[in-house]
Structure 1
Amino acid sequence: MVRDDLVITVPSFFKCPISLDVMKSPVSLCTGVTYDRASIQTWLDNGNNTCPATMQPLQTKDFTPNHTLQRLIQIWESHSSNPSLLSQQLALKLIQSLTQPSPDSRLNSLTQLAHFLQHPDPESSDKNRELLVNAGSIPVLFGLLSGHGQSLELSRAVVRVLSLVLSDSENVRKKLKSDSVSIDSKPYLMILQSGDVDASTDAATVLEALISCRSDISAVTECEDLVSELIRLTSSATDARPICAGISCLVAIATRRRMRSQIVRLGAVPVIGRLLAGSDSGEVAEKVLKLLETLSTCSEGRAAICEDPAVVPAVVQKMRKVSQAATERAVVVLWSVCHLFRDGRAQEAVAKGNGLTKILLVMQSECSPAARQMCSDLVKIFRVNSKSCLSSYDTKTTHIMPF
């Protein structure tokens, strides 16, 4: 069994003395030496009357199947064909092969790296990730991704490995901050435009990590086509993973204040508003509310939220249904459009959705002081409509009403 690519050591007694390969059907001669059936049969058919290993004359050319050895080989193959842990030697070999000019060699190495990084055993995959990071894989992978003339297939393979390396690891992201990596928007845009949802998800994941860790990435964050493709990914995907990856990347881009109006202008608000209203995923709702909170800090974002008739009702609907963090983000959005922006359409939507009741409940909960103050500001906004807004409100919380 030749597995040089994974540097697997084959036990010597599993090898046929003639072919030197792992035996598929081991049989024993009368001398007690075991060979692979095909190899020894060829030896005998060629007129030889001796044991190839000992050169003893054969009393008989009959051989006996060695079932015990065959079973041992099968057990060994089942384990060795799916190794879980990278050795340092193999990690360095695979990383070095990524710098070679051969596209086939690079793809083969990337496939092996992905295998080790997505192993079903979390402990093994974590150890492999740490080993690869410490072995210097991150600069090599980013350098390969930003190389000129790279094929779409190779770019997909690189972002697959990078997304696995960078996933859920603060230590890895700290390493990313200090490493010198090449940054170019073109490969990510090419992948996002390809329509491959899995590859696009990986690209968005890598972009989000890169944007969150680095400040010198204006070439990426200010690429309008890239933002448009991320919005398209969130609007066209049906599974939570690509949607969350796209929104998380948009949130990372929106941390650059000057980018918020561009994200709004490219139509993000209606898209994420529909997601918020129609998704049952708590993870999606939380990420959408985080993006809406960020966009509501700019005037263009507040205007877009108010102009879309579905957004504010969806925010009210999701209040107190996802998590404490999501609830407070919803409060920020409502405070921005109802109190800060003073938009009548938003105020009416909150009133119709029994939003004041939920705001009062948030005030009673263990929310942050900032969220409680925003709730208080919102209550004052709705004072004139308090009777109609509170017609169905449980009196257990009326003691906090300031009127």
Structure 2
Amino acid sequence: MMISSWRRRRAARRAGKEPRRNENGEMELTIPRDFRCPISLDLMKDPVTLSTGITYDRESIEKWIEAGNFTCPLTNQVLRSLEPIPNHTIRKRIQDWCVENRSFGIERIPTPRVPVSSTEVLEILSKIDVAFKKEDGEGCRELVVKVKSLAKESERNKRCIVTNGAGSVLSEAFQAFSKASFDVNVAVLEEILSALTIMFPLDGEAKGFLGSVSAMHCLKWFLSSGDLSRRRNAVLVLKELGQEKMDELSEMEGAIEALFKLIKDPICPTATKASLTVIYYMITSTSTNEQLIAEFVNLGIVSLLLETLVDSERGLCEKALGVLDGICNSEEGRQMACNNALSMPVLVKKILRVSNLATELSLSILWKLCKNEKSEDGGVLVEALQVGAFQKLLLLLQLGCVDKTKEKVSELLKLLNLHRNKVECVDPMDFKDLKRSF
């Protein structure tokens, strides 16, 4: 009887039904082997079975398949189907085991929602296609809400929806409703715009629909509206369109002011970065960029960018520097930057402090301002020396940089050297924590 009892306890431990003590004497629970995913070795939350009969956790096996593998990880057999089947039996057993061992801190895994299939997605998209061709705004809006809801349920659903062409269908619907009465269709247009921000990146066909005259005017209207979510979604979609449609956008009344306002009165970091990107596209790719830069300068973008740069994270800093670099391509932009007391301190500080890109952009702006300095007293050159530009540029040469950057650094050092006797440079201890990049 004692041997039999011992064998049962040993079998229970092997199956994970009986806890055992670790080296500290604490009770330790072992997960049954059948409940572990063969890939992650963790407790399966959503067990699914492949065509080979092996069960995995859905998240793990989908990552395996998305990585381009079409074989079963355990058996190496070629999969006859890439659609895993939910294993309700194993899931129920796992849930029961969790309940039985809740005293050990094990929480019952929730019953997972069945992910959307390609067939279901295509059916919904087909209904959206029919709805907008019939000009059924309310019917289309309800379907778009359903698509958004499914996409937000899980990353897996979102991928399924995107890969089945939802971006193009929604973009075509946006274009169709933008041609009709705007007052009547504003609700469905707003819903589609919101859904499109989940479908990035958009393909060429989708961008073609959204780049139409009617769609662009509609996007500009949303960009200029008082509603924060509308403005955010509009600028995100405009950013996705890239540089090709920036000429048209720049000619639309109120577009420049709306973009400027998104930076001046930020909604969220994502919207601010998108606005800076759109402005960068506009001032660097349009045929009338001199006029555009003048409009932005008159609005006060130089001081706004410099204030943004004082305390900003890497992504925002790089984008703000990119726009300021583009603004400084014009005489008016350079003059406004030279007249701002923040320019030299901010630009010099950003060199070697944020990223390689931020260093290159800061150096480019500094080079444009110093190279075009015409005053006899040195102007910005003296200001740059006062905030330690000379030492920082020397350090940049020592750390190593590409030839194009090295040329600008050398030229700047020559310009600054002419005025070194006029000022006393700052303490180089500002650079004590920097390390060589090689």
TM-score by length of 1: 0.68
Q: Distance in 2 between matches of 1:274 and 1:180?
A: 34
- Report whether the alignment pairs 1:191 with 2:222: yes
Deviates more, 1:368-377 or 1:110-119: 110-119
The aligned counterpart of 2:385 is 351
The aligned counterpart of 2:427 is 392
Q: Distance in 2 between matches of 1:120 and 1:389?
A: 60
Task: Find 1:87's aligned residue among 101, 121, 130.
Answer: 121
The aligned amino acid for 2:396 is: V
- Report whether the alignment pairs 1:253 with 2:282: yes
Per-residue CA shift, 1:80-137, capped at 9, x if unaligned?
5x7486532222223332333333212212222323444541x442332131258644
Task: Find 2:212's aligned residue among 163, 169, 182.
Answer: 182
- Report whether the alignment pairs 1:283 with 2:315: yes
The aligned counterpart of 1:273 is 306
Deviates more, 1:197-206 or 1:312-321: 312-321
Q: Distance in 1 between matches of 2:163 and 2:116?
A: 17
- The answer as to whether partners of 1:188 and 1:203 remain within 8 angstroms in 2 is yes
3-state DSSP of counterpart to 1:101: coil
The aligned counterpart of 1:14 is none
The aligned counterpart of 1:140 is 173
3-state DSSP of counterpart to 2:139: helix
Q: Go from structure 1 to structure 2 and tell me whether the alpha carbon gap of 1:273 and 1:149 turns closer, same or farther (over 3 Å shift).
A: same
Q: Distance in 2 between matches of 1:113 and 1:221?
A: 32
Q: Go from structure 1 to structure 2 and tell me whether the alpha carbon gap of 1:324 and 1:238 turns closer, same or farther (over 3 Å shift).
A: same
Per-residue CA shift, 1:274-300, capped at 9, x if unaligned?
1111x3321111110010111111112
- The answer as to whether partners of 1:319 and 1:326 remain within 8 angstroms in 2 is yes
- The answer as to whether partners of 1:100 and 1:106 remain within 8 angstroms in 2 is no
Q: Distance in 2 between matches of 1:271 and 1:391?
A: 26
Q: Go from structure 1 to structure 2 and tell me whether the alpha carbon gap of 1:134 and 1:159 turns closer, same or farther (over 3 Å shift).
A: closer
Shift of 1:342: 4.5
Per-residue CA shift, 1:298-322, capped at 9, x if unaligned?
1121112112222332222222222
Per-residue CA shift, 1:232-280, capped at 9, x if unaligned?
1111116311211211111111122343333223322221221111x33
- The answer as to whether partners of 2:328 and 2:368 remain within 8 angstroms in 1 is yes
Q: Distance in 2 between matches of 1:231 and 1:288?
A: 12
- Report whether the alignment pairs 1:156 with 2:185: no
Q: Go from structure 1 to structure 2 and tell me whether the alpha carbon gap of 1:162 and 1:221 turns closer, same or farther (over 3 Å shift).
A: farther
Q: Distance in 2 between matches of 1:228 and 1:134?
A: 29
3-state DSSP of counterpart to 2:197: helix
The aligned amino acid for 1:324 is: N
Per-residue CA shift, 1:9-64, capped at 9, x if unaligned?
xxxxxxxxxxxxxxxxxxxxxxxxxxxxxxxxxxxxxxxxxxxxxxxxxxxxxxxx
- The answer as to whether partners of 2:129 and 2:173 remain within 8 angstroms in 1 is yes
The aligned amino acid for 1:183 is: V
Q: Pick 1 or 2: higher relative contact order, CA cutoff 8 A, min separation 6.
A: 1
- Report whether the alignment pairs 1:221 with 2:250: yes
Q: Distance in 2 between matches of 1:233 and 1:197?
A: 10
The aligned amino acid for 2:387 is: G
The aligned counterpart of 1:333 is 365
Task: Find 1:102's aligned residue among 124, 136, 140.
Answer: 136
Q: Distance in 1 between matches of 2:425 and 2:340?
A: 25
TM-score by length of 2: 0.63
Indicate the RMSD between aligned Cα atoms, in angstroms.
3.2
The aligned amino acid for 2:330 is: C
The aligned amino acid for 1:198 is: S
Structure 1 unaligned spans of 5+: 1-67, 398-403
- The answer as to whether partners of 1:143 and 1:182 remain within 8 angstroms in 2 is no
Q: Distance in 1 between matches of 2:113 and 2:192?
A: 27
Q: Go from structure 1 to structure 2 and tell me whether the alpha carbon gap of 1:180 and 1:206 turns closer, same or farther (over 3 Å shift).
A: closer
3-state DSSP of counterpart to 2:277: helix
Q: Distance in 1 between matches of 2:188 and 2:162?
A: 20
The aligned amino acid for 1:302 is: R
3-state DSSP of counterpart to 1:79: coil
The aligned counterpart of 2:341 is 309
Q: Distance in 2 between matches of 1:265 and 1:91?
A: 46
- The answer as to whether partners of 1:302 and 1:341 remain within 8 angstroms in 2 is no
Q: Go from structure 1 to structure 2 and tell me whether the alpha carbon gap of 1:195 and 1:311 turns closer, same or farther (over 3 Å shift).
A: farther
Q: Go from structure 1 to structure 2 and tell me whether the alpha carbon gap of 1:120 and 1:145 turns closer, same or farther (over 3 Å shift).
A: farther
Task: Find 2:395's aligned residue among 356, 361, 380.
Answer: 361
Structure 2 unaligned spans of 5+: 1-91, 96-108, 433-438
The aligned amino acid for 2:259 is: L
- The answer as to whether partners of 1:146 and 1:187 remain within 8 angstroms in 2 is no
Q: Distance in 1 between matches of 2:165 and 2:365?
A: 42
The aligned counterpart of 2:146 is 112
3-state DSSP of counterpart to 1:297: coil
Q: Distance in 2 between matches of 1:281 and 1:194?
A: 28
